[in-house]
Chain A
Amino acid sequence: MAATVEDWHDDVVVGALHELRETRRRRRLGDWNVIDALYKAYLAAVVGGVGVTLLSGVVGDQRLQGQAVADVRRYGAAWIGLVVAGAIALGLRSGARGGPLALEAAEVRYVLLAPVDRDIALQAPARRQLRFTAFAGTVTGAAAGLLAFRRLPGQPVEWIAAGALVGGATAIAMGGAAMVASGRRLGKRTATALAIAVIGWSVADVVAGMATSPASLVGKVGLWPLHFQPLAAAGLIAAPVLAIAGLRSVGGLSLEAAERRGRLVTHLRFAATFQDLRTVMLLRRQLSAEQPRSRPWMKPKPAGLGRVQRNLVVWRRDWRGVLRWPAVRIARLTILGAVAGLATAAAWAGNTAMIAVAGVAMFVAGLDAIEGLSQEIDHPDRRDGFPAEPSAIHLRHLAVPTVVLTFVALAGVAAAAAASHTLLALKIGLPLAIPAAATAAGAAAVSALRAPPDPSRLMADSTGMGLLFHHALPPGLAIAAPAAVLLAHSQLKAEPGADPIAIAVSAAFNILLLAGLIFGWVRQREAVSAFFAGGR
C-alpha cells in the first residue's frame, strides 16, 4: 500500500484518464433522453425566436440611406470593436477569478491532485468549453447580422455570415483570454488593468472614427457586406492566437480557485434547474468573488431596548446588510438604474419595446436589494423560531429595499434627464421614483417567495404556459412603473397643455396602489393560498 510510487508511467496514466472519461461520456450519452433533448431544443428555438423578434422591433426596419450609411462605415467598425474588446475584458476578469472552466469537485480532487500532467488533463474540458463558447458566439453573431440586414444595404446571407464570423471570433477570443488569465495566474489588478487597456484602445478608435486596434479590425469584418476589406481578416487571427495560448497555459490554473468555482457552478446549475432565480443571483455574486465588506461603510448605533426599537429590528438588520455592500454592488445597482432610465427614455422616444428592458433592469436591481428577505427565506427554521408570523417578517423586509431602490430609480431619472436634455424627464420621473422602487421591491419579493409550479399538478398542455406565467409575472410587475411613463406620454400627447407633474403624480398614485396590492399579497400570502385551495 504505502510502499511504492515508482511504478507508474505517464502514458499509462494518461491512457487511463482518457479511457475512463470516455466511459463516463458513453454512460451520459446512454442516459440521454431524445424527447427531453428535443424539447429543450424546441424551447431554446422558441425563446431565441421571440428574442430576435423583440429585438427586430427595437431595431426597426427603416433602411438607412446616404450619410447614415456613411457614418456606419466610418464608426461602425470601432463600435463593434468596442463590443469585442468588452468581451475580451470580461474574459480577462473571469480568468483572474479562476474561470472559465468549471470542473467537478471530484475532478479537482482526484485528477488534478494525481501525478498527471495538468496541461494534458485539462485539454479536453478546455476544448469543450471553447467549442461551446464559439457556438454560442456564432449563433449570437448570426442573429445580430440578421438584425443589421434589416437596416443596412446588402444581402441577408452576407450579414448573417459576417455576424457569425465576428461572434464566433469574439467568443473564442473571450474564452482564450480567460484561460490565459487563469493559467498564467494574472492577479485581479493586472487583469483589470489589461481589460481597461483593451477597452481604452477601442474607445480611442470610436472617438477618432478609426480602426487601429485588433478588436476594431474584427469590427471591420462585421461590416464586410457594406465594405469588403480583406486585410481586416488579420484581426480575426487574434482569436485563434488567444485560444492556443489559453489551451497551452490552462494547466497552470489555481486549484483553490478551480475547486471553489466548480462547487459554485454546480450549485448554480442546480438552482437554475429548479428555476430559483434568487439563488442564481446569490451564486453569481459568489462566483465573481463579491463578498460583503468586513467593515461596514458606516457603523449604526446600537439599538435601544424600547418597543419602537424592537419593532425596528428588521429595518436595522437590513441596513446592516446594505452597509456591508461592496462598491461593485453599489455600482451595479446604479448602472441598472441608469439602464432603466435610458430604456424608459428610449421608449418615450418611440421604441416602446424598451419598456421591457427598463422593467427587467429594475426587477434585477430588486433581486439584489431584497437580500435581507432572501436570507430569511433561505433559513426558514430560524425565521419560524421568531415569535412573529413569517409573513409579517417578510413584509418588514421590504422597507429597506424600497428606500434603496428609490435611489436606483433616481439614478434612472438622472440618466433619462441627461439623455433627453429636458426637464420633462425630471417632472415625470421624480414623482414616479418611489412607486417604481416599491413595485420593483415587491416584484422581487414575489419572485423570491413563490415556489415554481409543480409540473405534476399542471395540465400537460398548460405546463409551458404555467411556467411562463410563473417567470414572467415578477418582471411584468416591475414593468408597471416604466409603462406608466408611456401612459403619461400618450396623455400629454392628447392634451398638450396639461401639467406633466399632475399627470405623473396621478400615475404614481396608481402604481402605489399596485405596490400596495403586492405588499398585501406578501403579508396575506398564506391566507390567499389557503383560500384558493378551498380552505384546506
Chain B
Amino acid sequence: MLVAEGITKSYAELVALAPLDLTIKADELTVLVGHNGSGKSTLLSLCAGLLEPTEGTLTVDGHPAGSFEARAATSYLPDQPVLYDDLSVVEHLEYVSRLHGVEDWEDRGNDLLDRLGLAHRADDLPSRFSRGLRQKTSIALGLVRPFRLLLVDEPFVGLDPQGKEALVGLLDEAHRQGAAVVVATHQLEFVQQADRCLALRDGELVFDGPAGGADVDKLLGLS
C-alpha cells in the first residue's frame, strides 16, 4: 500500500528524516512512536503529499505520494485541526465528502457525529469550538471520505475519555475494513493494539517490529 525507498527530508543543514526504506501493507495497523522532533509528523506529511522528499521515492498504491490517485486513496488527520472559519460542522462534512466524489455522505456523516459526541453541535461553527471539539471535527472529516490509507498524527491530544474511546473504535473499524492505518502516538494503550510498531529517533528508523514488546517501552523511555 505504502512504499518508501530511500526517502529523506532535509531543511538546509537540518536532517528531519534520514534515508528510510519502508513498506506498509493494506489492512496493517501501524503505530509510529518517537520523542518530540524525531520525525514522525514529517514522515506522515511526506506520505500525505504535503511535503516532498528531498531524495527518494514514496508511492501509495503504486502512485507517487501527492499524485491525483494517491490523494484519492490517502486520508490524513493532522495533529493540529485545520478548519474553515465560515462552515458549520455539517457543511464541512458535505464539502469534504463531495470533494471526494461522495454524494450520499449524510448517513456516514451523522453516524460519525453521533459516535464522536458532536451530533448536537452539527450546525455550529467549529471556529468557536474548544481544542477537543475541533479535534473531533477534524477526525470526522478524515473518516467521512473514502480512503485506503489512513494517516493519523497525534489524534488523542485534547480528547476527553469518551472521545478517545470513540476514536480507538473508529481506527479499529477502518483497520478491519481493510485500510492501512498509520498512527503517530504516545498513547501506550493504543500501541499495544497495533500490528506493528515503527520507532523514530532523530529522524532515523531505530525499530521496526511487532508492537507491545519491551523494546517499544524502552524506546518510549517508559521502562
Tell me the number of A-to-B contacts counted with CB atoms below 8 Å: 100
B100 touches A13 (CB 8 A): yes
A114 touches B143 (CB 8 A): no
B146 sits at the interface (CB 8 A) = yes
- Pick the contact of A20: B13, B51, B95 (CB < 8 A): B95
Q: Is A52 an interface residue (CB 8 A)?
A: no
Contact of A1 among B78, B84, B143 (CB under 8 A): B143
Question: In whole angstroms, how far apart are the Cα atoms of A305 and B123 in the complex?
Answer: 61
Nearest CB of B to A494, in Å: 58
Q: Is the CB of A104 within 8 A of B84?
A: yes
The answer, among B72, B76, B83, for a CB contact under 8 Å with A115, is B72
User: Is B169 close to A, CB under 8 A?
Assistant: no
Which of these binds chain B: A72-80, A162-170, A236-244, A253-261?
Answer: A253-261
Kindly identify, within residues 1 to 60 of chain A, every residue whose CB is under 8 Å from any CB belonging to chain B: 1-5, 7-9, 12-13, 16-17, 20, 23-24, 27-28
Could you say which residues of chain B place their CB within 8 Å of the CB of A1? Answer: 108, 143, 146, 173-174, 177
In the complex, what's the smallest C-beta–C-beta distance from B182 to chain A, in angstroms? Answer: 13
A113–B84 touching, CB < 8 Å: no
Q: How far is the CB of A390 from chain B (nearest CB, A)?
A: 30
B residues 23-82 touching A (CB-CB < 8 Å) = 48-52, 66, 68-69, 71-74, 76, 78, 82
B148 engages A109 (CB within 8 Å): no
Provide the residues of chain A in CB contact with B146, threshold 8 Å.
Answer: 1-5, 7-8
> Which residues of chain B come closer than 8 Å to A259, judged between CB atoms?
50
A8 & B72 in contact (Cβ 8 Å cutoff) = yes
How many Å lie between the Cα of A115 and that of B147 in the bound state?
11
Once the chains bind, are B102 and A110 in contact (CB under 8 Å)? no
**Chain A residues whose CB sits within 8 angstroms of the CB of B100 once the complex forms:** 5, 8, 13, 114-115
User: Closest CB of chain A to B90's CB: distance in Å?
Assistant: 13
A8 and B174 in contact, given A109-B78, A255-B66 (Cβ under 8 angstroms): no
Interface size on B, residues (CB 8 A): 43
| A2 and B179 contacting across the interface, CB-CB below 8 Å | yes
User: Counting CB contacts under 8 A, is A117 at the interface?
Assistant: yes
Say yes or no: B178 contacts A27, CB within 8 Å. no
Residues of A within 8 A of B49 (CB): 113, 255
A109 in contact with B69 (CB, 8 Å): no
Partner of B72, one of A5, A105, A256: A5
Residue B3 interfacial (CB < 8 Å): no
User: B99 at interface (Cβ–Cβ under 8 A)?
Assistant: yes
Residues from chain B with Cβ under 8 Å of A8 in the complex: 72, 100-102, 146
B183 at the interface (CB under 8 A from A): no
Which residue, of A20, A117, A254, has the highest number of chain B Cβ atoms within 10 A? A20
Give bound CA distance, A108 to B141, whole Å.
14
Contacts known (A115-B68, A117-B68); A16 close to B99, Cβ less than 8 A = yes
A111 sits at the interface (CB 8 A): yes
A2, B177: Cβ atoms under 8 Å? yes
Within the assembled complex, what's the spacing in Å between the Cα atoms of A17 and B95?
A: 8
Q: Check B96 for interface membership: any CB of A closer than 8 A.
A: yes
B189 located at the interface, meaning its Cβ lies under 8 Å from any Cβ of chain A in the complex: no
State A16–B98 Cα separation when bound (angstroms): 6
Q: Contacts A5-B73, A110-B99, A115-B101 given: A256-B50 contact, CB under 8 Å?
A: yes
Picked from B48, B103, B147, the residue with its CB within 8 Å of the CB of A2 is: B147
Can you list 29 A-B pairs, Cβ within 8 angstroms, ordered by A? A1-B108, A1-B174, A2-B148, A2-B177, A3-B146, A3-B178, A5-B146, A7-B101, A7-B102, A8-B146, A12-B103, A13-B98, A16-B95, A20-B91, A24-B87, A28-B86, A106-B82, A106-B83, A109-B78, A109-B82, A110-B141, A115-B100, A117-B68, A254-B52, A255-B51, A256-B50, A256-B52, A259-B50, A294-B13
Q: A20-B94, A110-B96, A255-B50 are known; give 20 further A-B pairs, CB within 8 A.
A: A1-B108, A1-B177, A2-B146, A2-B150, A2-B174, A3-B177, A5-B72, A8-B72, A8-B102, A16-B99, A23-B91, A24-B84, A109-B76, A110-B95, A113-B50, A113-B76, A114-B71, A114-B100, A115-B100, A256-B52
